[in-house]
Structure 1
């Protein structure tokens, strides 16, 4: 009986050590009636507290896809670009700081939502900030309209 108990306790302990909180999610939604094919230029609104360069990564990612991409502080409406891009980045500490979650929203020049994308990777499935930006922007650009 004691051997069974010790074996069970060892197995539960081993399972606790080998299983972790491995969560990842990557989604994108295009708003009904939205057409991103008409968007040729984007303005990335740089978050004032962004000291890790996420805004610049988003701008560079849109630029490499052929968009005219500018970045700067929030401006008065309407924006001069075809779309305005905003983002929320959440960081977490686990031995080192890493980007836990990134949400990017694309809005028209009057700031009505066109598309939104999100990526969440916990410490076991973490991605670099450029990879997370690429994942979200790719999903937004490839999103199909909802019915």
Structure 2
């Protein structure tokens, strides 16, 4: 009797411990009045603490989607663009360093109004490369925007 209780207790504690370590959240939101498909030019501004060049990866992904995207460290785009893209990344240590979260925001370059934002959050057991997390945020941003126009 006592053995069954302890066995069940061990299983319960294990489930709680391990399921808490594998969280994945990908979500985005967009102003319903903005059609992302109409935007053509993007400037991805480097997040000052980031030394990994994530702004370049974001710009590359946007270029693959057919947009004209550039990136840099300047707080203002060097040329006239439709969208100013900003991001914030967070990293954690769990045996190795990994990106736990990235948030990407699209702003009007003149007013700095944020009209679209997306986030990917992955804990240690669900970790992915930054390229994958950036891709899933952008996919969700554009998918949600396309769904609103249907």
Taking structure 2 as the reference length, the TM-score comes to: 0.85
Q: Compute the displacement of 1:78 (Å).
A: 9.6
1:61: which partner in 2? 61
Q: Compute the displacement of 1:64 (Å).
A: 1.0
Q: Compute the displacement of 1:55 (Å).
A: 1.5
Moved more, 69-78 or 86-95: 69-78
1:35: which partner in 2? 35
Taking structure 1 as the reference length, the TM-score comes to: 0.86
- Structure 2 residue runs without a partner (length 5+): none
Pairs aligned (count):
143
Moved more, 24-33 or 11-20: 11-20
Distance in structure 2 (CA, Å) of the matches to 1:124 and 1:76: 37
2:132: which partner in 1? 131
- CA offsets per residue over residues 80-107 of structure 1, 9 Å max, x none? 1110100011111111111111110011
1:102: which partner in 2? 102
CA contact (8 A) 1:78 1:109 kept: no
- Structure 1 residue runs without a partner (length 5+): none
2:119: which partner in 1? 118
- CA offsets per residue over residues 23-57 of structure 1, 9 Å max, x none? 11111111131121221110000012111222121
CA RMSD of aligned residues (A): 2.0
